[in-house]
């Protein structure tokens, strides 16, 4: 997509949720979009999804309606929105994240559900198997084997003397369990001591971060909607405390984090639009295999590295997919 067109699409994204509230499901097929965060912090994902739908022939307001609802990082909102979508009788729901998809599955066994990114879809009970999801749910997993280990190894290359690491994760987020396990296993192998932080709400994040001041040498954040919503807050603290950070996705690094390694979420949202397209054209969701990530990005923010007084080794820079300078 050309830069100007993409910027224009992003600019209109903020208005979509308001416009959608005025729309009532009519004769056009209707997608219920359940965002886990806010229109602002997930606008690029929305833009990627809508652009791909457009390429497939689905034009918002002309050939399809999209009703946007936002949980704003509050898990209790998922069930409320899921119930609303059932009452609206949407044709398919697009549920961003594991918990959003689980809430939709709890609310309906008839409306197709597509998730663009979910951690451990089999282990959390979203689908029966990756190859044969069954039921009314399908989508894409953001989990890949040993991602947690790879992130820790990259962090160790940048910080060779790393011995004490804080790992911040929302334990209530079911999709994060595999990653947490991988990081703990890797830490034992690399002889890195972990200090666990478990904020379950936005108001818990600052006290959790304050508790590690002068106690650790770096911060690893396990991604989930709560952490993503508060990425600016986390980065502001980390910079003030001079803590290098490792994240699961590029959006954290674009707002001041040091590094991220993981799936490309824009790509996942684009690919998930293909799932919605297939379902709207008659394919049963249970017959569409769940795919795993195919594109992984290492993103490094050299502005942040300089602010922290860190020199990123040339070997790490050489394998980076993007370097922010």
- The fold of the 3-143+265-293 domain, in CATH, is Rossmann fold (3.40.50)
Q: Are 285 and 115 in contact (CB under 8 A)?
A: no
> What confidence tens digit (pLDDT) does each residue in 61-90 have?
999 999 999 999 888 899 999 999 999 999
Domain 3-143+265-293 identical in fold to domain 147-263+297-324: yes
Q: Are 300 and 259 in contact (CB under 8 A)?
A: yes
Query: What whole-number percentage of the chain has pLDDT above 90?
Result: 75
pLDDT reading at 22 higher than 70? no
pLDDT reading at 151 higher than 90? yes
Q: Are 194 and 183 in contact (CB under 8 A)?
A: yes
The pairs formed by 254-259 with CB atoms below 8 angstroms and a separation of 24 or more are: 254/299, 254/301, 254/324, 255/231, 256/232, 256/301, 256/304, 257/231, 257/301, 257/304, 258/158, 258/300, 258/301, 258/304, 258/305, 258/308, 258/310, 259/154, 259/155, 259/158, 259/298, 259/299, 259/300, 259/301
Q: Give the whole-angstrom CA distance, residue 276 versus residue 293.
A: 18
- 35 Cα distance to chain centroid: 10
> What confidence tens digit (pLDDT) does each residue in 167-190 have?
999 888 777 888 888 999 999 999
In sequence order, which ranges of 139-264 are alpha helices (DSSP H)?
A: 147-158, 177-190, 202-210, 225-229, 231-240, 250-254
**Domain extents for the chain?**
3-143+265-293, 147-263+297-324
- With both helix axes pointing from N to C terminus, report the angle between 231-240 and 202-210 in degrees, rounded to the nearest 10: 10
> What confidence tens digit (pLDDT) does each residue in 104-137 have?
999 999 999 999 998 889 988 999 999 999 999 9
Q: Are 17 and 79 in contact (CB under 8 A)?
A: no
> What number is the average pLDDT over the span 230-237?
95
pLDDT reading at 21 higher than 70? no
Q: Give the whole-angstrom CA distance, residue 297 versus residue 102.
A: 27
pLDDT reading at 19 higher than 80? no
Q: Give the whole-angstrom CA distance, residue 230 versus residue 194.
A: 22
> What confidence tens digit (pLDDT) does each residue in 28-42 have?
999 999 999 899 989
State the pLDDT at residue 93: 98
Evaluated on CA atoms 125, 126, 129, 134, the torsion sign reads positive
Residue 301 bridge partners (DSSP): 324
What are the φ/ψ torsions at residue 249 (nearest 5 degrees)?
Answer: -150, 155
- The fold of the 147-263+297-324 domain, in CATH, is Rossmann fold (3.40.50)
State the pLDDT at residue 248: 93
Q: Which residues contact 101 (CB under 8 A, 6 or more apart)?
A: 95, 113, 115, 118, 121, 126, 137, 139
Q: Give the whole-angstrom CA distance, residue 23 versus residue 32.
A: 12
């Amino acid at each position: 997509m050309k830069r100007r067109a993409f910027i224009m699409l992003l600019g209109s994204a903020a208005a979509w949720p308001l416009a959608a509230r005025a729309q009532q499901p009519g004769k056009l097929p209707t997608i219920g979009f359940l965002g886990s965060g806010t229109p602002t912090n997930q606008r690029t994902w929305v833009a990627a999804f809508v652009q791909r739908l457009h390429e497939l022939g689905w034009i918002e307001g002309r050939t399809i309606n999209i009703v946007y609802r936002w949980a704003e990082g509050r898990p209790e909102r998922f069930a409320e929105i899921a119930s609303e979508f059932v009452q609206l009788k949407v044709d398919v729901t697009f549920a961003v994240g594991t918990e959003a998809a689980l809430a939709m599955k709890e609310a309906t066994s008839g409306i197709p559900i597509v998730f663009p990114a979910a951690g451990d879809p089999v282990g959390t009970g979203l689908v029966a198997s990756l190859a044969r999801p069954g039921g009314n749910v399908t989508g894409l997993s953001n989990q890949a084997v040993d991602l947690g280990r790879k992130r820790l190894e990259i962090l160790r290359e940048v910080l060779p003397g790393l011995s004490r690491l804080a790992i911040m994760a929302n334990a209530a987020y079911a999709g994060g369990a595999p990653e947490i396990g991988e990081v703990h296993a890797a830490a034992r192998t690399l002889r890195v001591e972990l200090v666990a932080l478990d904020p379950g709400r936005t108001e818990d994040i600052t006290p959790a971060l304050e508790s590690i001041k002068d106690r650790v040498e770096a911060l690893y954040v396990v991604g989930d909607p709560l952490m993503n919503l508060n990425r600016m807050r986390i980065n502001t603290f980390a910079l003030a405390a001079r803590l290098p950070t490792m994240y699961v996705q590029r959006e954290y690094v674009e707002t001041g984090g040091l590094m991220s390694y993981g799936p490309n979420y824009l790509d996942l949202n684009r690919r998930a639009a293909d799932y919605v397209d297939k379902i709207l054209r008659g394919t049963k969701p249970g017959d569409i295999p769940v795919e795993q990530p195919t594109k992984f990005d290492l993103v490094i923010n050299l502005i942040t590295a300089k602010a922290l007084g860190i020199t990123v080794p040339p070997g790490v820079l050489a394998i980076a997919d993007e370097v922010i300078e």
